[in-house]
Structure 1
Amino acid sequence: MSHQAPPGKWSSRLLAPGDGLRGWWSGLSRVQKWGFGVLGFALLALSPLAPPPFLDTPGISFGGTMAQFAMVAIIAIGLNVVVGQAGLLDLGYVGFYAVGAYTVALLTSPDSPWNQLSATGAFSDKWAWLSCVPIAMAATALAGLILGIPTLRLRGDYLAIVTLGFGEIIRLLADNLSDVTNGSRGLNKVAYPRIGENEHLRDGVFSSGNSSGHANYGTWWFWLGLILMVGILLLVGNLERSRAGRAWVAIREDEDAAEVMGVNTFRFKLWAFVIGAAIGGLSGALYAGQVQYVAPPTFNIINSMLFLCAVVLGGQGNKLGVIFGAFVIVYLPNRLLGVHVLGINLGDLKYLFFGLTLVVLMIFRPQGLFPVRQQLLTYGKRARHLLRTADDDKAAV
């Protein structure tokens, strides 16, 4: 006898946004997913060169918008490891973003007493930013380790309050340690990749001097961010399918049950915290190089909430979903920039729009637009196919 679910329940799920796309994606083979993934990222990479009319941002360079999207997407992927995979509510993730940015700025800005720029070697003008990227990731991973060891035994709201305090502590330290960080004046002239130097672009394609045309400096930063994003997605995807990924899911669903079953919950939570911190530090290094200026107001609590909003909007635990959430968070304010209705600049109301969106989402779609579909079995798809074949054979008999 076949068992049928109540029609109302399943029909509402089938009509929910993102379910059809998620179901189609889950039905593809691994080769097909790779093929569509490569095609999708290739089209995404070419979008700044020929912006689609319905996506173009008239008030600001589309390449600059996409460069900002790449940075926030990397942040969202890192935060998704902490919040979406391991279920740790982190409200101060902007602190890791700040540590990464300030690491690059302190080592390369002429305003910093720790400036390591030199005429030759790893910290020459051409290689300084690239040399600082692994240092920034290591520094933020260490910060995550130092914060995680005493605090990850807390849960829920208590952990959220501690991480919120960490983010504010980092911002206040940057604002008050004026002898090191230059205080509220910030650190200027931060190093960036010196590639493509010629007589027209003496500082290379990544410099702000390359501001004309579609292949401007924003487009080049977007391409660099996209390459880093693909690498992080491969890393995080492999982690999801590993023992650590399954331990994170078990901890997220029921930490007590996971611990009873032999999962070292503290160790795996600490792993998630450190990995997420390192990814946040990478995005901070990307920000410091692109803007070439780092100051405390950038790393306020509002930005931390926006990063979390990207994860919740896209779907916690779904790394491709949070990338979509990051795109919405970045694109919507830039698209509405300069658009006036009744004398009001809609670009200034982004927090209102995001707040209303989250309220509606929590009512009708609390799991996000693209909720994760966990593959807890290594050969889950094959096992389900064999079970369905066996049921069909029994029904035929």
Structure 2
Amino acid sequence: METSSVPAPVGGVPQALRGILPVLVALPVLLLLNWGMSGSPFATYLLSIIGVNVILAVSLNIVNGMTGQFSIGHAGFMAVGAYVAGVLSLTLKEVAISFLPVVVSDQIFLLLCLLVGGSAAALCGFLVGLPSLRLRGDYLAIVTLGFGEIIRVVVQNTDAFGRALGLSGIPQTSNLAMIGFWVFLVVLVARRIAGSSHGRSLWAIREDEVAAEAMGVNTTGYKVRAFVISAFFAGIAGGLFAHFVPIINPGSFTFVKSMEIVVMVVLGGLGSTTGAIVAAVFLTLLPEALRSAFTAMGAEGSLAQKVDQIRMPVYGLLLVALMLLRPQGLFGTREFWDVLPRWIARRRKGIQ
């Protein structure tokens, strides 16, 4: 008796459709969000910054959280993606697909530029990670810190990248739908990695690299792959950033930016994608809350400068308080989508 090779439906949904179903559900929601926020430029800009920071935090969490490595050069990969995507976008600025509406044509070229920028960042991640991830301890932090500074110096001294004055004229084609799509994608990838055999190997490396290697796990290979995936999404975040700010300059990708992303990951909980998202949203909105507080107090002078001066000390105080009160971070290694079903089940049991 022959058996069918077609996968059986799971929960009423065909197996072949389960992989793409989240994307099909997310796309109309993102388009509706983009349409709804079109009349509020400041809110759109703020949500765009939040989206970019979420991509950066979740992607860094794959290396620092799941794998247990310590990378502090994430802004360098962001810079690679931003400048490569920006230069390519400037080159293709006058090109259009004639049989498509201008908006659709712009988004297709934006997606192409993002993929090229992300791939360039992933290549840099491979070239940096392959030799350095064979090492243990703080050596990776030193290597990634040096890489970030090298990228910044190269950009400052390259005419094609606008030198220290920055790169301007990049088409402002990024929107909330595109940013939301990549936020959704990086979260989906992080979740799928965490629940896969690849993710279990990463968790094993994090807990005890020597024991994982003794059990036959190719620790260097897994760490390099995690590093490349993380660098790819950092490049995507940089490309998105380059397409909604008027000008990009080396000052946007300094060591301070890398440390901001590390703070987001540590604050949310090393290994928790949910924690990285919550911390990224909170720390992005914090400067705006500080500006509102200064305005309410009638502060004089450069408000932005005052906020920039007080922001890092506030971050430091938050980290000190967190390490004293909750060293594992806000969420530890737990995820919202793992805790919620158990909470609902307990509530139903209590009602019955």
TM norm. shorter chain > 0.5: yes
Q: Deviations over 1:38-94 (max 9, x none)?
A: 89x969x869959xxxxxx9xx93332221100000001110001001111001111
Q: Deviations over 1:283-306 (max 9, x none)?
A: 011101111422111101101100
Greater radius of gyration (CA): 1
Find out whether 1:315 has 2:272 as its counterpart: no
CA RMSD of aligned residues (A): 3.0
The one of 322, 325, 333 equivalent to 2:287 is 333
- Residue equivalent to 2:311: 350
- Residue equivalent to 2:170: 190
AA at the equivalent of 1:106: V
The answer as to whether partners of 2:269 and 2:330 remain within 8 angstroms in 1 is yes
- Residue equivalent to 2:220: 266
- Residue equivalent to 1:393: none
Secondary structure of the 2:95 match is coil
Shift of 1:177: 1.7
The one of 106, 110, 114 equivalent to 1:133 is 114
AA at the equivalent of 1:79: L
The one of 128, 134, 137 equivalent to 1:156 is 137
AA at the equivalent of 1:92: G
AA at the equivalent of 2:192: N
Unaligned runs of 5+ in 2: 1-10, 14-20, 336-341, 343-352
The answer as to whether partners of 2:34 and 2:177 remain within 8 angstroms in 1 is no
Distance change in 2, residues 1:294/1:343 (3 Å): closer
The one of 364, 371, 374 equivalent to 2:332 is 371
Q: Deviations over 1:110-154 (max 9, x none)?
A: xxxxx34443459x9724322211111111111101101111112
AA at the equivalent of 2:166: G
AA at the equivalent of 2:61: N
AA at the equivalent of 2:129: G
Distance change in 2, residues 1:163/1:241 (3 Å): same
- Residue equivalent to 1:146: 127
Secondary structure of the 1:366 match is coil
Distance change in 2, residues 1:42/1:310 (3 Å): farther
AA at the equivalent of 1:128: F
Distance change in 2, residues 1:86/1:174 (3 Å): same
- Residue equivalent to 1:175: 156
Residues in 2 aligned to 1:292 and 1:96: alpha-carbon distance in whole angstroms = 20
**Identity rate of aligned residues, in percent?**
37
AA at the equivalent of 2:196: S
The answer as to whether partners of 2:33 and 2:176 remain within 8 angstroms in 1 is no
AA at the equivalent of 1:358: L
The answer as to whether partners of 2:34 and 2:176 remain within 8 angstroms in 1 is no
Q: Deviations over 1:197-222 (max 9, x none)?
A: xxxxxxxxx6xxxxxxxxxxxxxx33
Q: Deviations over 1:218-267 (max 9, x none)?
A: xxx33332222112222221111111100100001110010001100000
AA at the equivalent of 2:307: G
The answer as to whether partners of 1:361 and 1:368 remain within 8 angstroms in 2 is yes
May I ask how many residue pairs the two structures share in their alignment?
Answer: 299
Distance change in 2, residues 1:129/1:104 (3 Å): same
Distance change in 2, residues 1:342/1:351 (3 Å): farther
The answer as to whether partners of 2:86 and 2:113 remain within 8 angstroms in 1 is no
AA at the equivalent of 2:289: R
- Residue equivalent to 1:230: 184
The one of 96, 101, 114 equivalent to 2:77 is 96
Residues in 2 aligned to 1:190 and 1:136: alpha-carbon distance in whole angstroms = 14
Distance change in 2, residues 1:42/1:357 (3 Å): farther
Residues in 2 aligned to 1:335 and 1:65: alpha-carbon distance in whole angstroms = 12
Distance change in 2, residues 1:42/1:248 (3 Å): same
The answer as to whether partners of 1:316 and 1:368 remain within 8 angstroms in 2 is yes
The answer as to whether partners of 1:48 and 1:63 remain within 8 angstroms in 2 is no
Residues in 1 aligned to 2:29 and 2:145: alpha-carbon distance in whole angstroms = 37
Unaligned runs of 5+ in 1: 1-28, 51-56, 110-114, 194-205, 207-220, 375-380, 382-397
- Residue equivalent to 2:89: 108
The answer as to whether partners of 1:87 and 1:251 remain within 8 angstroms in 2 is yes
Shift of 1:336: 1.7
